[in-house]
C-alpha cells in the first residue's frame, strides 16, 4: 500500500505503466463537475470510477480486496479514512467473486486519513476498508477510484 499526494506521483511511475498512466489521468483531470460513473481510459485495462457519497462510521465499513486490479483511490474533495491490513491477517466473510473482482474480509487494521489531493494505492495483498468517516463524523466525499488491471 502506498499513500501520498498527487504532486508526488512521479515517485511511483516506475512501478507499472498502468499505475503511471492512472496517476497522470488523475493529475490531468478536473473531477469537480464530473458525474458519478465509469470513465474508460484504456477499456477494461484502465478505467476510473467517479463516486460521490457521505463517509460512514467504521462499524458500517466493509473490508475488501481484489485479485485482478490495483486500486488507486484519489480524494478529489472531502476527507475519509481507509483501513488497511495484509489479507493474510484477515478472514474471509464473502468468498471471492471473479465477476466483480472482490472478496469481503473480516478483521481490523490500521487507518490512514486521505484528504483532497491525496491518494492510496492498494495492491491485491492489501485488504482495505474505504469510505470511513474520520472521528465518526460523516461528511461528503468525491472520490475517484482508478482500476489498473494486473498483468
Range of the domain at 29: 2-149
pTM over 0.85: yes
The closest alpha carbon to 58, from 5, 110, 129, 3, belongs to 129
pLDDT at position 76: 98
Measured CA to CA, the distance from residue 76 to residue 52 in angstroms comes to 10
For residue 140, what is its C-alpha cell? Answer: 461528503
Torsion sign across C-alpha atoms 129, 135, 139, 142: negative
pLDDT by residue, tens only, the chain of 151 residues = 999 999 999 999 999 999 999 999 999 999 999 999 999 999 999 999 999 999 999 999 999 999 999 999 999 999 999 999 999 999 999 999 999 999 999 999 999 999 999 999 999 999 999 999 999 999 999 999 999 999 7
Q: What is the CATH number of the domain that holds 125?
A: 2.60.120.370
Measured CA to CA, the distance from residue 93 to residue 37 in angstroms comes to 27
**How many structural domains does the chain have?**
1
Amino acid at each position: 500500500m502506498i499513500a501520498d499526494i498527487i504532486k508526488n506521483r512521479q515517485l511511483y511511475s516506475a512501478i507499472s505503466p498502468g499505475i503511471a498512466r492512472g496517476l497522470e489521468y488523475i493529475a490531468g483531470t478536473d473531477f469537480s463537475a464530473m458525474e458519478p460513473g465509469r470513465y474508460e481510459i484504456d477499456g477494461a485495462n484502465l478505467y476510473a470510477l467517479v463516486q460521490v457519497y457521505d463517509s460512514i462510521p467504521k462499524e458500517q465499513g466493509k473490508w475488501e480486496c481484489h485479485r485482478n486490479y490495483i486500486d488507486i483511490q484519489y480524494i478529489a474533495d472531502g476527507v475519509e479514512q481507509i483501513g488497511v491490513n495484509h489479507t493474510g491477517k484477515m478472514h474471509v466473510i464473502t468468498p471471492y467473486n471473479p465477476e466483480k473482482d472482490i472478496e469481503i474480509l473480516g478483521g481490523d487494521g490500521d487507518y490512514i486519513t486521505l484528504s483532497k489531493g491525496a491518494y492510496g494505492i492498494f495492491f491485491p495483498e492489501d485488504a482495505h476498508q474505504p469510505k470511513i468517516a474520520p472521528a465518526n463524523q460523516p461528511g461528503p466525499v468525491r472520490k475517484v477510484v482508478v482500476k489498473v488491471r494486473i498483468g
